[in-house]
Amino acid sequence: MPVRLPAGADALAGVTAQYALVSETVAALSDEAFALPTRLGTWTVAELVAHLASTLDAVPRALAKPAPAEPEADMLTYLGAMRAVSDAVAQRAVDNAAGVAPADLRARVAAAVTATEEALDGADPARLVLVRLGAVPLGDFLVTRCVEGVVHGLDLAAATGTPWPPDPTALKVVVRAFAALLEQVAPGRALEVRVPGHVAVQCLGGPRHTRGTPPNLAEADPVAFVEVSAGRLSWVNAIARGQIRASGKRSDLTEHLPLIG
């Protein structure tokens, strides 16, 4: 059975809660912390924060436009295309942070949270919005914002040494989104990937599993599943750390990861 895609209502709740956590973390950073390096190539914390503000501010901007008549893309299409635009997105973050003081970056994130909460008040997740990749349902777009908020929230925690767990609803949305994307990019029934409490998905070509304990099984912690899907953690290292437990000859997803980049 295909993965049940994240619900628009969950994405709506998750995105506001996750970015509120991001805003609280950014507000507590020292000015010096904005110059720290991140695990995202040459990005500093300042550029990561600028990107986070921009990804969230896209929600009220999209809702301020007239609703399109017909959908042109969906959540999986959007997530699958993220890698193709990563270079342009990275440069935009550099440009957006250039010469901007830490106090102004903090204010940008806080303002984006407020504007998004106001724009989403009473919003219908089924409403179409026009975004970079075309017209998509608002609920689908909010799933992609949960992905940005959770993945880059983890990037921010890693860079600043201030670990904090993602919002549970946002994390559930992102895990389900990545499981659905994995099902799409590595179709089949040979391997069962489980994220306990969140989702189970079958993937990879090969002998089909029908009942009992699967011969090929991978069980992942939710944050580890997000990190390997987003290319922050390798499959091999996740197994070595005990964050993913895999068994069977067909339990290596290395060639299909990361799902986004």
Distances (CA, A) of 260 to 8, 77, 131, 207, 257: 21, 11, 18, 27, 8
- For the chain, the maximum distance between any two Cα atoms, rounded to a whole number of angstroms, is 59
Distances (CA, A) of 36 to 126, 158, 195, 217, 248: 40, 11, 32, 39, 41
> Which pLDDT does position 210 carry in this prediction?
56
**DSSP structural state of residue 44:** B
What is the rounded distance in angstroms from the CA atom of residue 177 to the CA atom of residue 198? Answer: 11
What is the rounded distance in angstroms from the CA atom of residue 206 to the CA atom of residue 249? Answer: 11
Task: State the pLDDT confidence band at 83, using cuts at 50, 70 and 90.
Answer: confident
> Which pLDDT does position 29 carry in this prediction?
97
Helix (H) or strand (E) holding 58: helix 45-63
Domain ranges of the chain: 8-171, 186-256
Which is more confident, 84 or 113?
113
Q: What are the DSSP calls for 107-163, one per residue?
A: HHHHHHHHHHHHHHTT--TTSEEEETTEEEEHHHHHHHHHHHHHHHHHHHHHHHT--
Provide the CA 234 distance to its chain's centre, in angstroms: 17
Which is more confident, 50 or 9?
50
What is the rounded distance in angstroms from the CA atom of residue 30 to the CA atom of residue 5? Answer: 39
Lowest mean pLDDT among 4-18, 188-202, 221-235: 4-18
Across 221-227, average pLDDT? 97
Fold of 186-256: Nonspecific Lipid-transfer Protein; Chain A (3.30.1050)
Lowest mean pLDDT among 43-47, 73-77, 122-126, 134-138: 73-77
Percent of the chain whose predicted confidence (pLDDT) is above 90 = 81
Across 189-207, average pLDDT? 90
> Which pLDDT does position 1 carry in this prediction?
56
Say whether pLDDT at 200 is over 80.
Answer: yes
pTM reported for the whole predicted model: 0.94
Looking at every residue in the chain, the average pLDDT score rounds to 93
Instruction: Report the interhelical angle of 168-185 vs 8-28 (nearest 10°).
Output: 120
Query: pLDDT digit string (tens) for 106-125?
Result: 999 999 999 999 999 999 99
Fold of 8-171: Four Helix Bundle (Hemerythrin (Met), subunit A) (1.20.120)
Q: How would you class 92 by CB atoms within 10 Å of its CB: exposed for 0-12, middle for 13-18, buried for 19 or more? A: middle
> Which pLDDT does position 205 carry in this prediction?
81
Residues in Cβ contact with 203 at an 8 Å cutoff, skipping those fewer than 6 apart: 182, 183, 186, 187, 188, 189, 190, 191, 193, 253, 256
